Amino acid sequence: MNPHASSSTDGVYTTLLLQEADTTRTISWNPQIVLSDHRYEGAPCFLYAPEGQADLVFVDYFPSLQSIASWSIWNQPIHLQHPVPAFFIAPIHGKGLGMIAQRPINAGEMIVTERPVWAGRSRISCAADQTNANGIFHRAAIRGLSEPSRIAFFALANSYPPAQYDVVPGILNTNCLGITVPTRDSRAQQNPGSRTDTETYIACFPTLSRANHDCTPNAHYVFSPATFAGEFRAIRNIAAGEEITITYTSLCAPSAERCAFLATTRFFDCRCATCALPAAQLRVSDARRMRIREMLVKIEEARFPPRIPISELREAVGWARSEGLRVEEGRLLLCGSQVLTVYDGLDVAMGWAKEARKVFETIEGARSEYLRKLDDAYRVHQRMAAAPRPLNI
Ligand SMILES: [Zn+2]
């Protein structure tokens, strides 16, 4: 046993506690914010929330945590819906644990929603950060969680080589999903669901983090700042016994690019049905996905909608449907509607916006950010429809 180790109940995280005690300082009690290593100026802090229960540890720099600590959401009881579970967790051949549908699930159905046990700025948990070398910072942060949250955290998989990575950042980097956190706007401090500037953080969820990857997933993950919870919705109908999957990577990249990303960031070789297609079919799939990516970049990153014929836009939507990529289908319909508003007239543009709304209502529900964008588009369309037409003289 390490001479500096304290007695351990789970044998995982309690070594080096004596050194931690030297570098940890509580800087606020209401709610509890801890500066882990006060020897370094500007060192990251962590926030235990909700107050007194520590179901969640939030890791960030002090100015952000001051803002996050003031959210009224931490004082409100969590009323997440827990319907009869649509799934169970079980071993999946070659993948460790995974999520299996225990009954048929309809497209658009909410499969699961839950709050993370860990959330924070990705830069603080990444391998390049000095605190990863010994894990002291992350161990200190996790130590204050309630027992159920801590057990749930340490039960998650760790794909990172233990010789190079501490177990806590290893678990974080194996299981994290992106979350969007409101920043800067004072309204966000009272209501994190309000529309404001946002920044991308990462989070670990006891259940959501169990879902495995597929390059044609049947579920879509979205994070709701209003409830500070992650949600999975079914992209299509899912049969009982089918594995529920999400994506860990961009689906518009070709298979080789997706597999290389997953191998270097998640340490597994993707053997999903799409990546396992015969070579000729995989070439067709890759070509479609790359064309979808080109089209999205061309429109979404332009300052003004570029002139693209409706036949090309329709073709791109068709590729997304053929590939089963509903998020990309919705994005193509939305940005296609913007192009059509400028070049093809109102009626056709409104039809595309309506189609986009159907897609996002299904896969992201009523709080989807895309629906807010479509609300804006609807107002523009209404104003254009009400404007007097130029006289033909
Ligand atoms: Zn794959």
Taking residues 48-74, what's their average pLDDT? 83
Whether 71 is in a domain gets the answer yes
What's the gap in Å between 130 CA and the centre of ligand 1? 33
What's the gap in Å between 391 CA and the centre of ligand 1? 56
Q: What is the dihedral of CA 92, 94, 95, 97, to 10 degrees?
A: 40
> Average per-residue pLDDT in the chain?
84
Same domain membership, residue 283 and residue 229: no
Tally of domains in the chain: 2
Q: Which residues contact 30 (CB under 8 A, 6 or more apart)?
A: 51
Same domain membership, residue 291 and residue 206: no
* Of the candidates 181, 267, 266, the residue with the CA atom closest to the CA atom of residue 228: 181
pLDDT in tens, 156-210: 988 877 777 778 888 888 899 999 887 654 444 455 555 557 788 999 999 999 9
Q: What is the CATH number of the domain that holds 78?
A: 2.170.270.10
* Of the candidates 323, 321, 300, the residue with the CA atom closest to the CA atom of residue 370: 300
Whole-number Å distance between alpha carbons of 356 and 160: 39
What's the gap in Å between 210 CA and the centre of ligand 1? 17
What's the gap in Å between 128 CA and the centre of ligand 1? 28
User: What separation in angstroms does the CA of 63 have from each of 68, 131, 355?
Assistant: 9, 20, 42
Same domain membership, residue 238 and residue 129: yes
pLDDT at residue 191, rounded to an integer: 54
Which tokens is 1 given?
């046993």
pLDDT at residue 392, rounded to an integer: 53
Same domain membership, residue 283 and residue 376: yes
pLDDT at residue 5, rounded to an integer: 34
Q: How confident is the model at residue 307 (pLDDT cuts 50, 70, 90)?
A: very high
Whole-number Å distance between alpha carbons of 117 and 27: 21
Same domain membership, residue 236 and residue 96: yes
Whole-number Å distance between alpha carbons of 188 and 198: 9
pLDDT in tens, 327-380: 999 999 999 999 999 888 889 999 999 999 999 999 999 989 999 999 998 998
Helix (H) / strand (E) element for 100: namely strand 96-101
pLDDT at residue 253, rounded to an integer: 96
Q: Which domain holds residue 81?
A: 17-246
Same domain membership, residue 172 and residue 60: yes
What's the gap in Å between 368 CA and the centre of ligand 1? 26
Does residue 22 surpass a pLDDT of 90?
Answer: no
Whether 8 is in a domain gets the answer no
How many percent of the chain have pLDDT more than 90?
A: 49
pLDDT at residue 18, rounded to an integer: 43
pLDDT at residue 37, rounded to an integer: 73
pLDDT at residue 371, rounded to an integer: 94
The separation between CA 120 and the C-alpha centre of its own chain, rounded to angstroms, equals 12
Does residue 38 surpass a pLDDT of 90?
Answer: no
Whether 6 is in a domain gets the answer no
pLDDT at residue 192, rounded to an integer: 54
Whether 369 is in a domain gets the answer yes
Whether 330 is in a domain gets the answer yes
Same domain membership, residue 164 and residue 91: yes
What's the gap in Å between 279 CA and the centre of ligand 1? 14
Taking residues 97-122, what's their average pLDDT? 93
Taking residues 43-65, what's their average pLDDT? 84
Which tokens is 386 given?
């009400």
Which tokens is 181 given?
């956190």
Whether 178 is in a domain gets the answer yes
Same domain membership, residue 193 and residue 113: yes
pLDDT at residue 9, rounded to an integer: 35
pLDDT at residue 254, rounded to an integer: 97
Taking residues 277-292, what's their average pLDDT? 97
Whole-number Å distance between alpha carbons of 191 and 7: 42
What's the gap in Å between 287 CA and the centre of ligand 1? 15
Same domain membership, residue 290 and residue 228: no
pLDDT in tens, 200-258: 899 999 999 999 999 999 999 999 888 889 999 999 999 999 999 999 999 999 999 99
What's the gap in Å between 295 CA and the centre of ligand 1? 22
Q: How confident is the model at residue 310 (pLDDT cuts 50, 70, 90)?
A: very high
pLDDT at residue 238, rounded to an integer: 98
pLDDT at residue 292, rounded to an integer: 97
* Of the candidates 7, 13, 5, the residue with the CA atom closest to the CA atom of residue 154: 13
Whole-number Å distance between alpha carbons of 369 and 183: 16
Whole-number Å distance between alpha carbons of 72 and 228: 11
What's the gap in Å between 159 CA and the centre of ligand 1? 18
Whether 66 is in a domain gets the answer yes
Question: Where does a domain end: 246, 267, 294?
Answer: 246
Same domain membership, residue 339 and residue 205: no
What's the gap in Å between 254 CA and the centre of ligand 1? 10
Q: Which residues contact 276 (CB under 8 A, 6 or more apart)?
A: none
Do 317 and 288 touch, CB atoms closer than 8 A?
A: no
- 10 Å CB burial of residue 378 (0-12, 13-18, 19+) is middle
Which tokens is 99 given?
């999520």
Same domain membership, residue 293 and residue 219: no
Q: How confident is the model at residue 2 (pLDDT cuts 50, 70, 90)?
A: very low
Whole-number Å distance between alpha carbons of 245 and 216: 8
Specify which residues 234 forms β-bridges with: 219
User: What separation in angstroms does the CA of 382 have from each of 247, 330, 336, 350, 376?
Assistant: 36, 21, 18, 10, 10
Does residue 123 surpass a pLDDT of 70?
Answer: yes
What's the gap in Å between 215 CA and the centre of ligand 1? 4
Tell me the helices (H) and strands (E) count for the chain, helix number first: 13, 14
